[in-house]
Amino acid sequence: MIFATRNSRATWHRRSNAVVLLYLCAGLAVAGLQRRWPPDWLLVHVLLLGAATNAIVIWTAHFTNTLLPAQARAASNVGWVPLAALNVGVVSVLVGAERDAAPLAVAGAALVVLVVTWHGIAMAAAVRRARKARFGPVVRFYCAAAAALLAGASIGAALEVGVSAEWYSRLYAAHIQLNIFGWIALTVLGTQSAFWPMVLRTRMVAGAETALRHALPLCAGGLATTVAGLLAGSRLVAAIGVCGYLLGALRALEPFARTAMQRRPGSPAALMLSAATCWFLAGLAADLGELVAAKTLSEFAAAISNFVPWLVAGFVVQVLLGALTYLLPVVVGGGPAGGRRMSALLDRYGIIRVLVFNVGTLIAAVSSGGFGMGIGWALVGVAILAFCALAGAAIVDQRRPAGD
């Protein structure tokens, strides 16, 4: 799909991002129906594989087209057919895993891998056409993230088919590293250099592109080393990999910190993205700490399952909410007046929602279970529900004539 006009682009984003909102609402429905805490497999995958993966495919295509020169753009467009295929795969994985229908889940994972492979090749072709482009490092982060998902989804399919107990721990731990710290975090780290100054409405600090060029080998190499160590059964090698990844993440986020010092975050979108970055670093520290403290990889895999829920909420979901709060008015607003109107709706009670979301995540993270954890996740759910309601109202309002 080529974004030929403002109207066609706005229609595309209005409809495609509605899919992301639907997955967020589906996550709330699943959370309301489940009887135990922390969140189970289905809820985590509705958010990660459903909401986050759709958002990444949609927005990496958008930023690739926006940031690269015109001659590179045609190679990186995303249309309805790939997006539909992606969601057929996602739903197949969710239904197959929940119904113990391994062939359906594996077929769905294969379809997700096929779509993301196509998308990754398209982005690689785009950045190859613009080798010296200023924002080429951003798209290279996207390509590395796509490669991580291909490996992570393949491992997930193997887990559905069934493996021995020893291999289950290794594969499960590698699956988490690749999907959260690979597919999602690499995308976020790559995007921040160009996106964060826009959110803060300030100029990009010097050296941001250089920081990304330095960070990518550390992040990608560290992630590969971590996964190799886990698969080989070596916690030492895996820990070395996490340390390398952490160094790369800090290098990538250095311009993020300097930009925040240049102009302090104050809008709901900026505050959510700042908080999400803190949760990401906390999750990375927890990952390394548990890896060092665990006596076996089985113990490490069990520890991961304890912090994945709050990492998904605090980092992944909050990045989605923050990014959409800023981006929807820009691409769907229909011009300056419509954008301001949509921003006003999405920012309504924004600071309160940020506080509720993060306090809830913190309560859920420190609670060992029971009533406290339930309260924490309930607060998170309320904040997500409020955002989805406001986003839906904003999209509907944007479609009305300006004089209504």
pLDDT of 382: 95
| % of residues, the chain, pLDDT over 70 | 92
Report which residue type is found at 79: G
Q: Read off the pLDDT of residues 221-258 as tens digits, 9 standing for 90 and up.
A: 999 999 999 999 999 999 999 999 999 999 999 999 99
Q: Residue 330's CB: how many other CB atoms inside 10 A?
A: 13
pLDDT of 72: 63
Higher pLDDT, 306 or 85: 85
pLDDT of 404: 44
| % of residues, the chain, pLDDT over 90 | 69
Q: Read off the pLDDT of residues 41-58 as tens digits, 9 standing for 90 and up.
A: 899 999 999 999 999 999
Q: Residue 270's CB: how many other CB atoms inside 10 A?
A: 21
In this structure, what DSSP letter does residue 369 have?
Answer: S
Cα–Cα distance measured from residue 256 to residue 404, given in angstroms and rounded to the nearest whole number: 40
> Residues, the chain, total?
404
In this structure, what DSSP letter does residue 204 have?
Answer: P
Phi, psi of 265 (to 5 degrees): -60, 135
- Residue of 316, 307, 388 whose CA lies nearest to 39: 307
Task: Provide the whole-model pTM.
Answer: 0.93
Q: Using DSSP, how many helices (H) and how many strands (E) does the chain show?
A: 17, 0
Characterize 100-133 residue by residue with b for buried, 16 or more Cβ atoms within 10 angstroms of its Cβ, and e for exposed: eeeebbbbbbbbbbebbeebbebbbebbebbeeb
Structure tokens at 308: 């994945």
CA atoms within 13 A on the CB side of 309: 30
- Asked if residue 79 has pLDDT above 60, the reply is yes
Q: Read off the pLDDT of residues 141-153 as tens digits, 9 standing for 90 and up.
A: 999 999 999 999 9
233 burial class (0-12, 13-18, 19+ CB within 10 angstroms)? middle
pLDDT of 14: 82
Structure tokens at 400: 């009305």
- Asked if residue 159 has pLDDT above 60, the reply is yes
Q: Read off the pLDDT of residues 284-328 as tens digits, 9 standing for 90 and up.
A: 999 999 999 999 999 999 999 888 999 999 999 999 999 999 998
pLDDT of 4: 39
Q: Read off the pLDDT of residues 373-401 as tens digits, 9 standing for 90 and up.
A: 889 999 999 999 999 999 988 877 666 54
Provide mean pLDDT across the span 328-338: 79
CATH number, domain 6-398, options 3.40.50.150, 1.20.210.10, 3.40.50.2300, 3.40.50.880 = 1.20.210.10
In this structure, what DSSP letter does residue 75 have?
Answer: G
In this structure, what DSSP letter does residue 69 have?
Answer: -
pLDDT of 403: 44
- Residue of 320, 314, 395 whose CA lies nearest to 360: 314
- Rounded to the nearest integer, the mean pLDDT of the chain is 89
pLDDT of 71: 66
pLDDT of 16: 86
- Asked if residue 2 has pLDDT above 60, the reply is no
Q: Which residues contact 336 (CB under 8 A, 6 or more apart)?
A: none
Indicate the domain borders of the chain.
6-398
Cα–Cα distance measured from residue 223 to residue 141, given in angstroms and rounded to the nearest whole number: 13
